[in-house]
Structure 1
Amino acid sequence: MIVEAPNAARALADPDTRRFLEPFLGRECSAQQAAKDLCEDLDRVLTRVRRFLRVKLLRVTRLEPRAGRPVKFYQAVADRFFIPYSSTKFESFEAWFVAEFARREENLALSVSKEALAWGASRGHHAVGKRVFQGPDGSLRADFAFGPDVDLDLLHPAAPAIAYTVAFTGLDHGSAKDLQCELLALAEKYAGRKGEQLYSLRLALAPVQRE
């Protein structure tokens, strides 16, 4: 389905909104089941469901009788959507791309820092700073730490499952393509799992733009 209506395009262009459409793709689903699948509060799901109905991205498929109000089941009006750039509010594709990830990047960084601080505090470390040092391979490295010589073992079984790393490495085109394939395969391996805790996984790879 090509989405040209501005309100529908805005809903799908916003990553924090469109993920609520996932439980309704290719199947009918109640709001309660969708909340369970998304590990979300029911009220938040219902808010998005009402928005999707208003912009005609979702439809009611049936009503299931029960005591009191019947249970509504919904399904997305298509299994695939395409949002033309001309239907968005962005002044350039680059601006759209940056906006797509900016809020998620901020939320990810905040979540990682919160978990790291809590883990450090539980180990008796409260003063945090940044270390700049030479790595074993001779490269310049920097990380946030709870002191110049305090290494928190984030791989410890009791430590939070967090990671936030940026690495610079020189690669030829073939090696970069191999890494690209490995990263995408890793993301695909863990995508769509239904666990007790929702996690944000971000993988990125790009040549450094020299100014």
Structure 2
Amino acid sequence: MKITDPVMVRSLLRDGAAHYLAPFLHEDHSVSEAAELLRTPLTKVHYWVRSLCDAGLLHVVSEQPRKGRPIKRYRAIATEFVVPAEALPEDYFAGVMRRSNEDMIDALAAAAPEWVIGGDFRVSASSPTRGSQDRVLREGTGLAAVTHQSGCSLRITEDEARELAEEIRDLRDRWIARSADESDLERYQLDIALAPMPD
């Protein structure tokens, strides 16, 4: 469903909106059922359900009578929401990417300070015309947590860049499919980017 209403757009763009909408996109749930699915406190899910209802993105599909207040069951008004580019705030995705980069730096610094803060800087060359700079751990220093961060520049054709982009998407999608999102497993952030360098 295409969304251009400013109230709905603002609600969809809030951090966490997709997470709290997820249980209601394909079937109806009560607040307590959604809280159990999301493994999140009932009060937090109740706050989000009320907020998403106020924005018009969720609606009550039925009420189960019981002593006291009936149990309301909610469902999203669509199974998917698309906000057209012209309805987004200016530079929306640039802001999202900046926040993602900051989150990744914070995550790396917290998980592996010996890598982010204490690593050594190295300049080397794999050939007389191919210099590189990177960071290395001092001998005998091990990483406290599983982390990886690397970057490089490549000289490749546009066709090769398309091939690489497809491989990256396949790799990402394969690991998303393996991710047990509803589990108590540790959450990792993965950022992968590819773009031609400006002149």
Q: What is the TM-score normalised by the length of structure 1?
A: 0.74
State the 1:85 CA deviation: 3.2
- 1:10 equivalent in structure 2: 10
Change (3 A) 1:87 1:32: same
- 1:133 is paired with a residue whose SS is strand
- 1:133 equivalent in structure 2: 123
Match of 2:196 among 165, 182, 207: 207
Of residues 38-47 and 173-182 in structure 1, the stretch that sits farther from structure 2 once superposed is 38-47
- 1:196 equivalent in structure 2: 184
- 1:171 equivalent in structure 2: 156
State the 1:191 CA deviation: 2.0
State the distance in 2 between where 1:139 and 1:32 align: 58
How many correspondences in the alignment? 192
State the distance in 2 between where 1:66 and 1:167 align: 62
State the distance in 1 between where 2:13 and 2:108 align: 25
State the distance in 2 between where 1:36 and 1:170 align: 49
**Which whole-Å deviations, capped at 9, do the CAs of 1:80-139 have from their partners, x for residues lacking one?**
22213333332xxxx12201222222222212210113xx5xxxx9x7254132265753
| Identity among equivalent pairs (%) | 24
- 2:108 equivalent in structure 1: 112
Unaligned runs of 5+ in 2: none
State the distance in 2 between where 1:108 and 1:39 align: 24
State the 1:173 CA deviation: 1.8
Change (3 A) 1:67 1:140: farther
**Which whole-Å deviations, capped at 9, do the CAs of 1:32-54 have from their partners, x for residues lacking one?**
44345445444433332222111
Q: What is the TM-score normalised by the length of structure 2?
A: 0.77
1:101 is aligned to 2:78: no
- 2:146 is paired with a residue whose SS is coil
CA contact (8 A) 1:14 1:100 kept: no
